[in-house]
């Protein structure tokens, strides 16, 4: 019999990352199912290796490698996040209401990363699926170069919402009252260059078009088939619910599908 | 090479804050900000550059000196006295900090070059005269190091965590309109007082996270223009490149960035005809000034602060503004530590400079 779980709050102001993460682990180990971390700023590795059905809400900007090795919990970030979120994550969900830095989902092999804003360079680098694990990254805004570099499995979706916002946007919606939760340079381009370089597994759906020169040598562009639509719809519905977006509106634009045309791009590199 | 430590997972941390109106503020914020990125350093180097700190001596060249021993100081002073009028000299005030165990003798000089000495060098500018002095001292006088040599600015650095170095130099007592700070995690050269960042020459200061794999090419290129890279550090190379391109060749920072982090040939092909011609010319003329390898740098001089990333974004860099203040840092949290609600926060594009300019000046 489960007891009704209480929300456990931690004031992270001035806490060294080790201290904060110990407190989080202690709380989870003693049965807390919902945590709120206030005044977080730059503490690394929050949610590291954490397992179980736990929800952690982060107010403030968490430090690098958020949810590294995480195995189950849900983390909601009400602002921007830094580099390396979901690094080698196994299961669970990260919801970011702002933007994220570089290498989001680095080597991730399961779970979901839903980003309302934009993402930096090398998003989804080395991500892979494993048995029944299937990692998914959805980016609401735009992404920079090297999206899905060396990608081996899983799904990346780029929506390019709010691109009308200029290169440098000011205030991003989810927390209007809080000044400065901006999208870092909103790139007017949906996806950067070298997209899918070294990709040999997995799928990307891009809402809008992408020029051939932007693609890595290993990737080809296709139209979505019924199965793709089903797959996209399944995750996008959940994504839209996270951010109160209108699913139909988001689906209103055509997507392209990117998949590798060989699963062994370097197979012949050293073979004579 | 006696100070190698076991490898930690880390990378240098950098931050720059500029009040573009020229209004000066204390060093407290920059210390707080760099302290929040302690994980990025390992205690083997920390330092700060500050602009606008000596308004009462703003016409004099200020040398921040580090001396390993008394004889280095005697030799240096003799050399300086030969060439300059010493307007004022004093010990750089410090405060004991138990984390800082060794320290060289730290002294500052406010100087005016002697006219008759300048004349000995046919048509040399005053800047070149001073730069020559700096390179002479650094390469000829053993145990003496010029940490900075600009006007109305100074570099404060040493071996330690940056926040300790900042308190050691009592930076909260200074006021500047540009502050930059660096927490070092030395990878290719040993941690020593002179090797900490920022690197300074004239009013330039450079802080840097990463490494320059084109070091050899850049160094040979610079040698043609009289720059002797004496310290085997990447920071030194970047400083001289900016000095050459911006001060001597009078190029804008935008163009300098297009040289250091030139667009790829593929991208040049897709540029407009006009732009393509410029890009091709720059790559041909300044090909050896192209900087390769993973880096993010913050460069400052009297009128400007510039943040720049390598071309494929292999090191972190975030920028923000709040009123007239421009922030550039390795991590967004370092900015929010002192500016919780900036007007804008963004990630600069790889190879595209973020430029802060003093209002009313052309940087």
Q: What is the pLDDT of residues A148-167, one digit of tens each?
A: 999 999 999 999 997 654 33
Q: How many domains does chain B fold into?
A: 1
Chain A touched by B316 (CB under 8 Å): yes
pLDDT digits (tens, 9 = 90+) for A56-98: 999 999 999 999 999 999 999 999 999 999 999 999 999 999 9
- What is chain A's Cα-based Rg? 18
Query: Which helix (H) or strand (E) is B322 found in, with range?
Result: strand B318-322
The total number of residues written for chain B in this structure: 363
CB nearest B346 (choices: A82, A83, A185) = A185
| Burial profile B194-215: b = 16 or more Cβ within 10 angstroms, e = fewer | bbbbbbbbbbbbbbbbbbbebb
Q: Inter-chain contact B336–A101, Cβ cutoff 8 Å? A: no
Between B167 and A168, the more confident residue is B167
| CB-CB neighbors (< 8 A) of B316 in chain A | 82-83, 101-102
Per the listing, tokens 């138990």 go with B98
A225 burial class (0-12, 13-18, 19+ CB within 10 angstroms)? exposed
> What was the pLDDT predicted at A140?
95
CA dihedral B158, B163, B169, B172 (to 10 degrees): 150
A81: distance to nearest CA of chain B, Å?
8
Contact status, residue B241 vs residue B289, Cβ threshold 8 Å: yes
Whether the model pTM is above 0.90: yes
Which pLDDT tens digit goes with each residue over A105-114?
A: 999 999 999 9
**Does residue A23 register a pLDDT over 70?**
yes
**CA A74 to CA A94: how far, in whole Å?**
6
Distance CA A81, CA B354 (A): 21
Name the residue with tokens 């209004």.
B23
Instruction: Based on the residue annotation, tell me whether B12 is a catalytic residue of this protein.
Output: yes
In a domain, B119, yes or no: yes
pLDDT of the residue at B229: 86
Q: Residue B220: inside a domain, yes or no? A: yes
CATH number (domain holding residue B80):
3.60.20.10
pLDDT exceeds 60 at position A184: no
List Cβ neighbours of B6 (8 Å cut-off, separation of 6 or more): none
Flag whether B2 is in a domain: no
Calculate what percentage of chain A has a pLDDT beyond 90.
Answer: 82
Q: How far is CA B139 from CA A103, B57, B65, B135, in A?
A: 42, 27, 14, 6
Distance from CA of A268 to the nearest CA of B (A): 25
- Chain A residue numbers with beta carbons less than 8 Å from the beta carbon of B333 are 41-42, 61, 63, 82
Q: How confident is the model at residue A188 (pLDDT cuts 50, 70, 90)?
A: low
Out of B337, B345, B348, the one facing A80 most closely (by C-beta) is B345
Average pLDDT score over chain A: 89
Kindly report the nearest CA distance between residue B149 and chain A, in angstroms: 35
Q: Which residues pair with B113 in a beta bridge?
A: B84
Rounded mean pLDDT, A18-43: 96
Please check whether residue A149 touches B, CB under 8 A: no
Confidence of residue A270 (pLDDT cuts 50, 70, 90): low
Give burial (CB, 10 Å; 0-12/13-18/19+) of B101. exposed
A-contacting residues in B 167-196 (Cβ below 8 Å): none
CB B162 within 8 A of CB B35: yes
Is there a domain that residue B6 lies in? Answer: no
Buried-exposed string B302-334: b where 16+ CB fall within 10 A, e elsewhere? bbbbbbbbbbbbbbbbbbbbbeebbbbbbbbbb
Would you state the pLDDT for residue A272? 57
What SS3 class is residue B224? coil
- Which among B318, B343, B349 has the least Cβ separation from residue A180? B343
> Could you give the 3-state DSSP secondary structure of residue A38?
strand
CA of A269 to nearest chain B CA: how many angstroms apart?
23
CA distance A130 to chain B (A): 27
Within a domain: B330: yes
Please tell me if residue B349 touches chain A, with a CB cutoff of 8 Å: yes
> Which residues of B fall within a CB distance of 8 Å from A168?
344, 346
Q: Does B344 touch chain A (CB under 8 A)?
A: yes
Phi/psi-derived region of residue B170, left when phi > 0, alpha when psi is between -120 and 50, beta in every other case: left
Interface test with A, best of B347, B348, B349, B351 (most A CBs within 10 A): B347
Contact list in B for residue A60 (CB cut-off 8 A) is 336
In a domain, residue B4? The reply is no
Buried b (16+ CB within 10 A) or exposed e, B150-179: bbbbbbbbbbbbbbbbbbbbebeebbbbbb
Interface test with A, best of B39, B333, B341, B348 (most A CBs within 10 A): B333
A34-41 and B199-201: which strand pairing? Answer: unpaired
Look at the block and give the residue holding tokens 């292999």: B314
Query: Any chain A CB within 8 A of the CB of B320?
Result: yes
Residue B1 lies in a domain: no
Confidence of residue A12 (pLDDT cuts 50, 70, 90): very high
**By the CB < 8 Å criterion, does A83 face chain B?**
yes
pLDDT digits (tens, 9 = 90+) for A122-151: 999 999 999 999 999 999 999 999 999 999
pLDDT along chain B (363 residues), means of 10: 40 94 97 94 92 98 97 97 97 93 94 90 88 92 96 96 96 98 82 89 95 93 91 88 96 95 94 93 96 96 96 95 96 96 92 92 53
- How much is the pLDDT for B194? 87
Q: Which residues of B touch A44 (CB under 8 A)?
A: 39
Is B131 inside any structural domain?
yes
CB-based contacts of B199, cutoff 8 Å, min separation 6: B155, B205, B206, B207, B208, B231, B233, B235, B236, B238, B239
B36 touches chain A (CB under 8 A): yes
Determine the Cα–Cα distance for residues B162 and B166; give it in Å rounded to an integer: 6
pLDDT above 70 (res A271):
no
Question: Residue B267 forms beta bridges with which residues?
Answer: none
C-alpha dihedral sign at A224, A226, A229, A234: negative
Subunit contact B346:A101, Cβ cutoff 8 A: no
CB of A166 within 8 Å of a chain B CB? The answer is no
Per CB-CB distance under 8 Å, the chain A contacts of B296 are none
Would you put residue A246 in left (φ > 0), alpha (ψ -120 to 50) or beta? beta
- Chain B CB contacts of A121 below 8 Å: 312-313, 350
Interface size between A and B, measured as CB pairs under 8 A: 89
From start to end of B153-279, where are the E strands?
Answer: 153-158, 175-176, 178-183, 199-201, 204-210
So what's the pLDDT on residue A1? 43
Q: Mean pLDDT throughout A13-25?
A: 96
List CB contacts (< 8 A) between A181 and chain B. Answer: 345
């Amino acid at each position: 019999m489960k007891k009704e779980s209480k929300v456990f709050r931690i004031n992270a102001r001035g806490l060294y990352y080790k201290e904060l993460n110990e407190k989080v682990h202690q709380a989870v180990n003693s049965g807390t199912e919902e945590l709120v971390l206030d005044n977080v700023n730059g503490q690394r590795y929050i949610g590291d290796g954490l397992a179980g059905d736990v929800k952690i809400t982060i107010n403030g900007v968490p430090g690098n490698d958020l949810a590294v090795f995480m195995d189950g919990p849900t983390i909601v970030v009400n602002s921007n996040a830094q580099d390396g979120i979901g690094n080698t994550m196994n299961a669970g969900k990260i919801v970011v209401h702002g933007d994220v830095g570089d290498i989001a989902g680095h080597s991730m092999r399961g779970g979901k990363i839903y980003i309302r804003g934009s993402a930096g360079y090398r998003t989804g680098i080395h991500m892979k699926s494993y048995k029944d694990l299937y990692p998914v990254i959805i980016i609401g805004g735009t992404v920079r170069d090297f999206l899905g570099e060396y990608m081996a499995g899983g799904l990346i979706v780029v929506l390019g919402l709010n691109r009308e916002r200029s290169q440098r946007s000011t205030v991003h919606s989810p927390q209007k009252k809080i000044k400065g939760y901006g999208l870092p340079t909103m790139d007017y381009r949906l996806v950067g260059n070298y997209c899918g370089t070294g990709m040999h597994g997995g799928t990307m759906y891009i809402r809008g078009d992408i020029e051939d020169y932007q693609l890595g040598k290993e990737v080809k562009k296709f139209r979505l088939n019924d199965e793709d639509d089903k797959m996209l719809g399944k995750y996008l519905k959940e994504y839209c619910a996270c951010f109160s977006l209108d699913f139909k509106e988001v689906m209103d634009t055509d997507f392209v599908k990117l998949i590798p045309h060989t699963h062994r791009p370097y197979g012949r590199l050293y073979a004579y | 090479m006696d100070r190698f430590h076991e490898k930690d997972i880390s990378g240098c941390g950098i931050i720059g804050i500029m009040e573009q109106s020229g209004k000066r503020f204390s060093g407290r914020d920059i210390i707080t900000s760099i302290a929040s990125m302690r994980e990025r350093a390992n205690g083997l180097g920390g330092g700060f550059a500050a602009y606008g700190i000596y308004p009462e001596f703003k016409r004099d060249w200020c040398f921040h000196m580090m001396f390993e021993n008394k004889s280095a100081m005697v030799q240096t002073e003799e050399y300086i006295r030969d060439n300059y009028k010493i307007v004022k000299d004093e010990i750089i005030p410090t405060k004991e900090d138990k984390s800082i165990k060794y320290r060289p003798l730290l002294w500052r000089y406010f100087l005016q070059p002697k006219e008759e000495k300048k004349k000995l060098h046919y048509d040399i500018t005053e800047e070149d005269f001073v730069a020559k002095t700096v390179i002479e001292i650094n390469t000829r006088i053993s145990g003496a190091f010029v940490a900075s040599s600009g006007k109305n600015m100074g570099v404060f650095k040493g071996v330690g965590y940056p926040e300790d170095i900042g308190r050691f130099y009592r930076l909260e007592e200074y006021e500047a309109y540009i502050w930059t700070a660096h927490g070092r995690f030395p990878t290719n050269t040993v941690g020593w007082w002179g090797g900490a960042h920022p690197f300074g020459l004239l009013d330039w200061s450079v802080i840097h996270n990463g490494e320059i794999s084109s070091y050899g090419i850049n160094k040979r290129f610079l040698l043609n223009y009289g720059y002797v890279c004496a310290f085997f550090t990447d920071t030194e190379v970047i400083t001289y490149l900016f000095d050459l391109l911006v001060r001597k060749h009078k190029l804008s920072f935008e163009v300098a960035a297009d040289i250091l982090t030139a667009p790829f040939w593929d991208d040049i092909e897709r540029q407009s005809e006009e732009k393509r011609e410029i890009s091709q010319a720059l790559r041909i003329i300044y090909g050896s000034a192209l900087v390769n390898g993973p880096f993010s740098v913050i460069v400052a001089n009297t009128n400007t602060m510039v943040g720049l990333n390598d071309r494929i974004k292999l090191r972190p860099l975030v920028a923000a503004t709040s009123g007239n203040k421009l922030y550039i840092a390795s991590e967004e949290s370092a900015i929010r530590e002192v500016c919780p609600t900036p007007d804008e926060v963004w990630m600069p594009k790889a190879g595209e400079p973020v430029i802060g300019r003093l209002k009313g000046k052309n940087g």
